[in-house]
Chain A
Amino acid sequence: MMLSKIVLCVTPKQATVGLWRLGKLVSCTAFANNGSGREEFRQFLQHHPNVPIQLIADAVEEDFRPETMPHAFGGARHEMVERKLNQLYRNTSYRTAQFIGREADKRRDDLFLFMSLTNPDIVAPWVTAAEELQAPLAGVYLLPVVSQLLIKELKLKNADLLLMSRQSAGLRQTYFSGQRLRVSRLTPLAGMDERQINKLYVSETEKTRLYLVSLRMIARENRLHLVFPTAEYVDAGVTQQLEQTQGVSCNIIGAAELARRLGLNADLLKRYPDMLHMHVLARSKPICNLAHARQTRHYQLHKLRIGINIASAACLSGAAIVAAANLFSAADLNQKLQEAAAQTRQQEKLYTEVASNFPKTPLPGNDLKAAVELAKKIGELNRTPQRLMQVVGETLDIQREIQLNRLRWMFSEDANARDDEGKGAAPSGGVAIIAPPSSSPTGLYEIGFIDGEISNFSGDYRAALASVNALAERFKQNKAVEHVVILQQPVNTSSFANLQGSTLDEQAQQLPAAQFKIKIILKPGMTT
């Protein structure tokens, strides 16, 4: 029922009901505007639940009033319009206003057309019936407002247009200025025969023209363009009379032409005169709803339900599309996987054929190579303290006053390794930081720590210092040595340390030992 629509045209005498589905008229019927007619309408609604209903009111008890208001927008405009509606139409809830445009004067006020159904009783029973059945009433519209949609549908673009139509309620004449509704009249035709009605066409047109001139809606010299869409046969004499009416040009659109332009059955149009407007409303986006929000509550709920259902469908459809894409992609990947697996098997088979001629081996050739080269590499890293001993021996042979107490050799990744056991690990005697040597290609350093003392020390610290410094200098001059640092001097002459002793030291029998410590880093060398 989502794409169905019921349009109801209510007049004081009857109500015509049509059901549209996908913009096509499905069924049409008329009910008398009395208790039994409304009961039939109820039954009709029960047969078509949850179908939005649009109601057209066509009655003499209507009012159109153009008004100007100071230019405003948003909430202020809405408030002013509401106030004006309350002021103009206190006794009816079926009222609304249509913004027409701005005035041309300096103030450029807003121009509105206020409209109402001044006798709500005409539509109230029908609205109540819909409300009781919780049918979604979408809106209540005045027939001249729907005429505004009709002239758009018929593409009538005349500046001063008088649309005349024969409705079940009577003869309707609606004036449009610049395609905007300005005023409308309904003349009941009850009790008149065709001859009288034909006369009425002419007389009412003349009256309307004079009325518009009196309201200064058109100038006296302006020509009013009369358009008369009708399914009824119009006598040629009437057409001639209408065209001869002063200041009026006439265009009668016959049943066949209407049926062609609007896609309606001509016979149906003759049978139900209100069908023209009902059909236009069923296919267009309506404007100027007179119904109060509480009357369209079920319609709002209906829209919300449809919205949720659409969201559900969209969600499911989206997920289904994505899921289908995923499955398609997975199938494609599976195909590629099978192909890759087959190719892998083929390559393995080829390799197995080739490998059958290989010598028997516990490991792949690459691993054999890696193991052998690893053993070779570790073998190349084999070092002994021999080079350090040579360097120390050669130097001490020259400086015989030095006695070697301890020699430590390290083969370490850390060039800044410390001799934890020996004394004076921290540099002293003016050497603050051990400069890092140039990087070793193997990542390992041969490091030596030399602990010694001055033999037969007499207490001459100056001579002892000179001797140790000379030793360090000789180490530096050795081609196998990369770096030398004195970690401990025979005496600490730093201003940042305590220095104790006695001037009688030289005469003392027991002198403290003049011990020192030197660190050497050897240049990267070959295996010894």
Chain B
Amino acid sequence: MMFTAHDWRKLQLPLITFGVTLIIATLLYSTTDARKTKMQQLLQTQQNSLNQARQRYQTSGEEKENIVRYLSAYQALVQQGFVGEEQRVDWIDDLRNINIRYKLFGVSYDIGAQQDYKPAFPLDIGNFKLHRSVMKLTFAMLHENDLLTLFQALPGEVNPPFMLRDCTITRVSGGGRGKFVPNLNNSCEIDWLTITEPPTAGDQS
């Protein structure tokens, strides 16, 4: 059946009605479906919150035990500079003291800028953020035991957790056999690790 212009005019109103109906139907469906989806998401979020709240209440005994058990240790870590800002001045002072105490030939240091750190080896950092500053120490030694002396002194003098990652001892060419002439050069790389508190922390009373 071929349609004439007159036929199209007769079909115009039903077709427009159909088009408008389609638009209304689409709007009806999309708006109500969006509302339903939003409510589903809100409910899911709320149920997660409820589960967390339940879990938190159920484990409140354990929570109290953890606070009692770890609070002082944590405060000590804050004091030592593992939690929060790096205490670089303290570190330099400590290094200087070690150098004087153990009569070393002097230690050069180069501390890089602090960066966020995701270790490649397994390390559970919980809700904290881990940071690392790469530190290079260069110093001359009379004997290789000077190296061990320095690093054995470090945990005593300097409390923040460090990880010694790399050391290279090189024989000084033409090194003399004199008592106070360095025979070896040493270059070490140390990771200075610190953490910052999770952003949601502080809601405890």
Contact = CB atoms under 8 A, between A and B. Distances in A.
Interface of A: 293, 297, 300-301, 304-305, 308-309, 311-313, 315-316, 318-320, 322-323, 326-327, 329-330, 333-334, 336-337, 340-341, 343-344, 347-348, 350-351, 354-375, 377-379, 381-386, 389, 404-413, 421, 442-444
Contact of B125 (A319, A360, A374, A406): A374
B200 to A, nearest CB: 9
Given A333-B42, A358-B63, A404-B171, 11 more contacts: A308-B11, A319-B24, A322-B33, A323-B28, A326-B35, A329-B36, A344-B50, A365-B70, A379-B155, A384-B152, A408-B167
Contacts of A358: 63-64, 67, 204-205
Contacts of B205: 355-356, 358, 360
A351 B82 contact: no
B168 to A, nearest CB: 4
A107 B10 CA distance: 50
A444 to B, nearest CB: 5
B15 to A, nearest CB: 6
Contact of B201 (A354, A363, A442): A363
B29 to A, nearest CB: 5
A350 B57 CA distance: 7
Contacts of A355: 60, 63, 204-205
B197 interface: yes
A287 to B, nearest CB: 21
Contacts of B22: 315
A410 B191 CA distance: 12
A384 B151 contact: yes
B43 A336 contact: yes
B63 A364 contact: yes
Contact of A347 (B36, B53, B64, B155): B53
B180 interface: no
A285 to B, nearest CB: 21
B53 A348 contact: yes
Contact of B63 (A365, A371, A382, A410): A365
Interface of B: 1, 7, 10-11, 14-15, 17-18, 21-22, 24-26, 28-29, 31-33, 35-36, 39-40, 42-43, 46-47, 49-50, 53-54, 56-57, 60, 62-71, 73-74, 77, 82-83, 119-128, 144, 147-148, 151-152, 155, 161-171, 193, 195, 197-198, 201-202, 204-205
B45 to A, nearest CB: 9
A323 B128 contact: no
A336 B56 CA distance: 21
Those 7 A-B pairs whose CB atoms lie nearest each other, nearest first: A365-B66, A370-B126, A443-B121, A319-B25, A326-B32, A347-B53, A378-B161
B21 A383 contact: no
Nearest to A309: B14
A372 B73 contact: yes
Contacts of A368: 66-67, 70-71, 73-74
Contacts of B168: 406-409, 421
A370 B36 contact: no
Given A359-B68, A360-B205, A372-B73, A367 B42 contact: no
Contacts of B171: 404-406
B163 A411 contact: yes
A413 B11 contact: no
Contacts of A340: 43, 46-47, 49-50
A383 B147 CA distance: 12
A368 B128 CA distance: 10
A305 to B, nearest CB: 5
Nearest to B161: A378
Majority secondary structure of chain A interface residues (helix, strand, loop or mixed): helix
A379 B161 contact: yes
A305 B43 contact: no
Contacts of B67: 358-359, 361, 365, 368
Given A344-B49, A374-B123, A382-B155, A354 B198 contact: no
Contacts of B33: 322, 326
A333 B45 CA distance: 12
29 contacts: A301-B10, A308-B11, A308-B18, A323-B29, A326-B35, A329-B39, A333-B36, A340-B49, A340-B50, A350-B57, A354-B57, A354-B60, A355-B205, A362-B201, A365-B66, A367-B201, A369-B69, A369-B70, A372-B74, A374-B126, A374-B128, A378-B161, A378-B163, A382-B163, A383-B163, A385-B148, A406-B171, A409-B167, A443-B121
A374 B196 CA distance: 12
B195 A371 contact: yes
Contacts of A322: 28-29, 32-33
B46 A341 contact: yes
B143 to A, nearest CB: 11
Nearest to B8: A301
B22 to A, nearest CB: 6
Nearest to A419: B168
Contacts of B32: 322-323, 326-327, 330
A357 B204 CA distance: 11
A304 B11 contact: yes
Contacts of A315: 18, 21-22, 25
Contact of A406 (B53, B82, B155, B170): B170
A382 B162 contact: yes
Nearest to A444: B121
Contacts of A305: 10-11, 14
B131 to A, nearest CB: 12
A369 B67 CA distance: 8
Given A363-B201, A365-B67, A309 B82 contact: no
A49 B112 CA distance: 92
A300 B1 contact: yes
A375 B82 contact: yes
